[in-house]
Amino acid sequence: MRVLSGIQPTGRFHWGNYFGAIRQYIELQNENESYYFIANLHALTTIRDKQVLQQNSLDAALDLLALGLNPDKATLFMQSDVPEVSELCWLLMSGTPMGLLERCVSYKDKTAKGLSANAGLFTYPVLQAADILIYDADVVPVGQDQVQHVEVCRDIAQSFNHHFGETFVLPKPRVMPVAAKVPGTDGEKMSKSYDNTIEIFEPLKPQRKKIMRITTDSRPMEDPKDPDSDHLYQLYSLFASDADREAMAAKYRQGGFGYGEVKKAVADASEAYFNEAREKREALAADTKKVAEILGDGAAKARKKAAEVLLRAQQACGVK
């Protein structure tokens, strides 16, 4: 089974990115043929600075490799290093109904948040379909809010197959299990949009200060508290062992502690959890030539498959 996922380099990965998606992507590489790409073409719809995009793309590669993506098990590459995707995108776009794109929730959501309604943002689902179809992907791991994009991809592929004969594999979404809630520094869902994130690899001292400033309620120290409704406990639970988690929950129910104590526990546990990845990232950052080789090897493998599928599509619709 071939699994495919793309990750946009729109900023440094945070705890929510890791527990919500990246950890599951890395687990999938052990059981499947996996293709992972850094979606720098998609990022152009929001990033208009060359240096920022290049640095973000390199950081994304470093982060993924440090967190456990194994180039011996999975294919990692830059989206733009496979130009066949853009060519297939045009073949698909020429037959994609405007109404289909107008119904896409993500376009409505992003414009509602104030992003400019450029053509790239509007046609984003077609490029996403090309990303998926060009590798004959069987499964696309997504969150529940992204299922529509895989359904749109299937609609586009089915239309092409209907007009030109069976050309594309129809991918299926694999809805990732609902991860533990990852609250941000304000208690709301951790998201770049809310400016409440804690980055995985930000320097430890600033990270610890950010954790110590996490918003809490004003209940007296002596009051017992429900751990399951507290966002600090939810953060601690992401990193703690079962035994430590139970001990912290008991402390909440008993009362007689300060939130500063929990914040320190969150900082200590998260530092230990990502310590090995942090060391690995430092080593990779000191050897960017190796990272470039990994991305180059990944792109070569991806292009080989992409060229095969693109030719199949070109021959089907008559441009070859």
Q: Which residues have a catalytic role annotated?
A: 110, 189, 192
Q: How far apart are CA 102 and CA 299, in angstroms?
A: 32
Return d(Cα 316, Cα 320) in angstroms, integer: 8
From 46, 5, 39, select the one nearest 22 (Cα to Cα).
Answer: 5
| Contact of 307 with 84, CB cutoff 8 Å | yes
The number of residues making up the chain comes to 320
Round to whole Å and give the CA distance between 221 and 255.
7
